[in-house]
Structure formats: structure tokens, C-alpha cells
Amino acid sequence: MLDVAEVQKLLEPLFPGLMGVRLLELSPERVLAEMTVRPDLCTTGGIMHGGAYMAFADTLGAVGTLVNLPSGKGTTTTDSSTKFIAGAKVHTRVLGETKALHRGRTTMVWQTNVTNSDGKLCAVVTQTQLVLEPRS
């Protein structure tokens, strides 16, 4: 199984690395990560942008799937639903915890809770990841 350091190294040159996603824990059933709410990830009023929540959660679901993939297979998101509940202020930290709802042969479904630095639930994201066959 891939470990936190290996997956973090994969993320660094990609969009999640640009956003500052930091993996904390990784298992086949759960991924835990954090991200600092920077001004460039915010909307007016210094509140984290909805797209940043979605991208953060999408990353965690994809990482969860990656950990579960058979050798040579890939993944892509096919569906995502976000419920916004509260805000996260600039210069604070958000925590994302994703849990597997379904880990199948052709799809995996993940639910991510994003909380702010006060521990308040900010967003709930449910996504489906398609398991892709190796490219020829």
C-alpha cells in the first residue's frame, strides 16, 4: 500500500500541491488531510471559496481510490455533490476527512467532511470515482 509520503510526493507538482493540500493519514477506508485557507483560495470577505472546498474534497476521494486501486489501474471523478454549511476564514486551517462508502471493482464512493479551525462542519462532499482500465 502507498504511504502518506509517497502520495504527498505525487500531489506536490499537481493542482492539490498548488492548493497546499497536506496529507496526514491514509488507509484504504479513510484519508485525513489539512489545508491552510490562503487569500488566493478565498472569495470576498476572506472566506474560503466553494470551489476550493470542492477541489480539496475531490483530491481526498481520489487519493482514497488511488490507495485501493489494483496495479496499473487509474481513476477519475464521475460525480460530485457538495453541501455548504459554514465558512472557513482566511489564514485558518481546514481539515478534511474522507471515508469510503463503497469500494467496488468499477466504482468507489467517498464522503468527505470539511471542518474549520473551530471544528465546525463547513461542507459535506459525496463523490463517485470510476476505476479506469490501464491505457494501452
Burial readout 35-56 (b: 16 or more C-beta within 10 A, e: otherwise): bbbeeebbeeeebbeeebbbbb
Predicted confidence (pLDDT) per residue in 16-65, tens digit: 999 999 999 999 999 999 999 999 999 999 999 999 999 999 999 999 99
Residue 117 has pLDDT above 80, yes or no: yes
**What average pLDDT does range 114-127 have in this prediction?**
98
DSSP H helices in 69-131 = none
- Predicted TM-score (pTM) of the model is 0.96
- Break the chain down into helix, strand, coil percent, rounded to 5: 25, 45, 30
Residue 135 has pLDDT above 90, yes or no: no
Residue 104 has pLDDT above 80, yes or no: yes
Q: Which residues contact 90 (CB under 8 A, 6 or more apart)?
A: 37, 38, 39, 42, 46, 47, 48
Residue type, 73: K
